[in-house]
């Protein structure tokens, strides 16, 4: 009954370092999403995927890359972290193309870039 | 342009009082509408959703929402709030390009 699992839960990076956030879902969902959440700005879509091997840009894609090599996993990479990327990152998955079944969210990754 | 507006950034309600959180949307087609709740330090959880049919929909935790097409609204209600309802609430509309369009959220504060 895991749903969506995000790792790590917390991370502190120095400016210029790289890291990968992992999202794994066990619900056989086609659609997966990466969001960032900042105070007063709600949820902003970074990248999303409509199936294995596909990725697409969302609202705020700059500075991030993603990959969906396996249906159950969606990776978010930061090649050269910047303080502006300090945020809470959420992964979500959905079984419908307009979220008909609802999104299932992970518990988030709190990233601080110093 | 497609958008979701939650006019209230914060709402404070006394425990046991009724609650209404407002949501207005702008969307050209028939909307799919959602309310999610986020407890502190947690991800978002689906409260309820509307696709078609009865405009009053029931959700989890005693919440309900009413779709009013003429007002482009989908307000969330609860007859009597509990301290455990303190959280942030997000309204969203399902867009045709695989995405949800999110409101900015309303933070609910419960007074003892």
Q: DSSP letters along A11-62, please?
A: EEE-TT--EEEEEEESS--SEEEEEEE-TTS-EEEEEEESSTT--EE-SS-T
Burial of residue A22 (number of CB atoms within 10 Å: 0-12, 13-18, 19+): middle
Asked if residues A103 and A93 have their Cβ atoms less than 8 Å apart, the reply is: yes
Contact status of A43 with chain B (Cβ, < 8 Å): yes
A43/B99 CB distance under 8 A: no
Q: Is it the case that residue A66 has pLDDT exceeding 90?
A: yes
Give the DSSP H or E segment for A69: none
Query: Average pLDDT in the B94-102 region?
Result: 80
Q: Which of residues 20-39 of A touch B (CB under 8 A)?
A: 31, 33
Q: Is it the case that residue B94 has pLDDT exceeding 90?
A: no
Give the DSSP H or E segment for A105: strand A103-105
Tens digit of each residue's pLDDT (9 = 90 or more) over B53-69: 889 999 999 999 999 99
B36/A103 CB distance under 8 A: yes
Enumerate the residues of chain A whose CB falls inside 8 A of the CB of residue B42.
Answer: 107-108
Contact status of A2 with chain B (Cβ, < 8 Å): no
């Amino acid at each position: 009954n895991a749903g969506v699992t995000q790792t790590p839960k917390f991370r502190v990076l120095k400016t210029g370092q790289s890291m990968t956030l992992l999202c794994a879902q066990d619900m056989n969902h086609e659609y997966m999403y990466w969001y960032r959440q900042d105070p007063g700005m709600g949820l902003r879509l970074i990248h999303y995927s409509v199936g294995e091997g596909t990725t697409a840009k969302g609202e705020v894609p700059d500075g991030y890359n993603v990959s969906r090599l396996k249906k159950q996993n969606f990776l978010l990479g930061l090649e050269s972290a910047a303080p502006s990327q300090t945020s809470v990152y959420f992964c979500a998955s959905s079984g419908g193309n307009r979220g008909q079944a609802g999104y299932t969210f992970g518990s988030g990754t709190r990233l601080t870039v110093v | 342009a497609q958008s979701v507006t939650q006019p209230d950034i914060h709402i404070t309600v006394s425990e046991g009082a009724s609650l209404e959180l407002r949501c207005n949307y702008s969307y050209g087609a028939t909307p799919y509408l959602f309310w999610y709740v986020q407890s502190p330090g947690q991800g978002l959880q689906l409260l309820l959703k509307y696709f078609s049919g009865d405009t009053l929909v029931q959700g989890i935790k005693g919440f309900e929402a009413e779709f009013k097409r003429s007002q482009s609204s989908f307000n969330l209600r609860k007859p009597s709030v509990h301290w455990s309802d303190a959280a942030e609430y997000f309204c969203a509309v399902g867009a045709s390009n695989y995405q949800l369009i999110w409101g900015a959220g309303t933070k609910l504060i419960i007074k003892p």
